[in-house]
Chain A
Amino acid sequence: MRVPIHKQGSYLIASIQAALTDADLLQLQDDLSSKVGHYRSRGAIVDVTALDVMDSFAVRTLRSIAHMLRLRGAETVIVGIQPEVAFAMVQLGLTLEDVATALDLEEGLAYLYELTKKSGHKNG
């Protein structure tokens, strides 16, 4: 299932709706990369609230999304990792490394706003 991405001001919000296959995750990576260029976005939020499992492939792909978007001039925040999912990730040994995370969409937006306001771009 393709992840819907919508634009909110100078940010993009990708809201995962259901379990994702590897192909879906790679599609999300492609879509975010092209949309960041198209809208000249300064930040992207990936909402993973609906994911009931984050395995090594999901984590690797989210990390590569964040690194790739940074090269395109946008910051990424992962929001909504569920407590059980976080527990399993830690046991597995998975980390998001230097990728920013926030509790929910609201916190994620606040984080991006703080991070990008200094650069002089107006949100909206």
Chain B
Amino acid sequence: MDETINVTIKSDTDIVLAREQGRALAEKLGFTQIEMTVIATAISEIARNIIEHANSGEIILCEHHNGVRHGIQIIATDQGPGIPDVNKAMQDDYSTGKGLGLGLPGSKRLMDEFDIQSTVGGGTVVVMRKWKYT
């Protein structure tokens, strides 16, 4: 069975832990050095959003198949305040805090698939995937 790694995100040290776990899984799945760094960077941004905007949450890492391709899947969930305008949040340089506003749009650029679902008062779920081509 494919392994699933759950990382609880509640402090800045968990951001480092999540991206290290992500890098390790990506390496195990045979991703290249550059892809491993890309995956770890996207995880860092999404985990950071949990800390900065939702206080706490979880990152779930696993291998993913869609019949044709396989790769890595990263799910980030929180029960934070949610995002009122997701389209705005996905724009470069848009931040409601003191961040650079590049975490969401940048992670989308880094990964092959990126989906975000958010409900005000209910929380946010981000699903990202990167496929293996080699």
Q: Are A55 and B20 in contact (CB under 8 A)?
A: no
B41 and A55 contacting across the interface, CB-CB below 8 Å: yes
With an 8 A cutoff between CB atoms, is B113 at the interface?
Answer: no
Tally of contacts, chain A with chain B, CB under 8 A: 71
CB-nearest residue of chain A to B38: A88
Contact of A55 among B23, B33, B45, B105 (CB under 8 A): B45
B104-131 toward A: CB 8 Å interface, digit per residue (1/0)?
Answer: 0111011000000000000000000000
Which B residues are CB-close (under 8 A) to A106? Answer: none
| Distance in angstroms between the alpha carbons of A53 and B102 in the assembled complex | 15
Contact A19 B16 (CB under 8 A): yes
CB pair B34–A56 under 8 Å, yes or no, is no
A91 within 8 A of B: yes
Contact flags (1/0) for A49-64 with B, using CB distance below 8 Å? 0001111110110000
Residues of B within 8 A of A87 (CB): 34, 37-38
Is the CB of B15 closer than 8 A to any CB of chain A? yes
Given A53-B19, A56-B99, A57-B48 in contact, is the A92-B41 Cβ separation under 8 Å?
yes
B37 near A56: Cβ-Cβ < 8 Å: no
> Across the interface, which residues of A come within 8 angstroms of B107, CB to CB?
92
Expressed in whole angstroms, the Cα–Cα distance for A83 and B32 within the complex equals: 13
Q: How far in angstroms is the closest Cβ of chain B from A122?
A: 39
